[in-house]
Amino acid sequence: MEVKRIHLQSHGDERGALVSIEQNKNIPFKIKRVYYIYDTQKSVVRGLHAHKELKQVAIALKGSCKFILDDGNERAEVLLDSPSSGLLIDSCIWREMHDFTDDCVLLVIASEHYDEDDYIRDYTQFKKVVANYANK
């Protein structure tokens, strides 16, 4: 499957670096929520779900982790290890996050408020939803 990366321009000088995030500019949607994940152990797998509507951009602000993205037909593994690289996760994409380094801080920018009803937590159900979209 196609992996959509977003280059986030880093404004660096002798004082350090700065990255700016703006809705409908380098983030391709209106931003309704931001959260971050940290203190995750290397052996832990997170995610294991898809979203019906939610779109997100994930950025490893520090350290690294890996994403498995699955569109119901193909899987791709992506390493996130740079604060100037975002990973766009569209709606209806199964995601699994693993291999978190001890120092990993994963920032996630989301298009919608938190809504448990938007989650598809069962992989068989996810495949059915994808098949329904394909038949429309």
**Near ligand T46 by CB under 6 A: residue from 47, 83, 123, 127:** 47
> 3-class SS at 69?
strand
CA–CA distances in Å: residue 126 to residues 21, 77, 93:
31, 19, 9
49 labelled catalytic: yes
CB of 57: closest distance to ligand T46 in angstroms?
A: 10
Is 46 a binder of ligand T46 (CB under 6 A)? yes
Number of residues that bind ligand T46 (CB under 6 A): 10
CA–CA distances in Å: residue 12 to residues 15, 16, 35, 114:
7, 6, 25, 34
Report which of 103, 63, 108, 117 is spatially closest to residue 89, judged by C-alpha positions.
108
Mask 54-73, x = binds ligand T46 (CB under 6 A)?
A: --x-x---------------
**Near ligand T46 by CB under 6 A: residue from 72, 88, 95, 120:** 95
**Angle value at C-alpha 135, between 69 and 28, nearest 5 degrees:** 45
Catalytic position from the list 7, 49, 51, 98: 49
Binding site for ligand T46 (CB under 6 A): 33, 35, 37, 46-47, 56, 58, 95, 108, 114
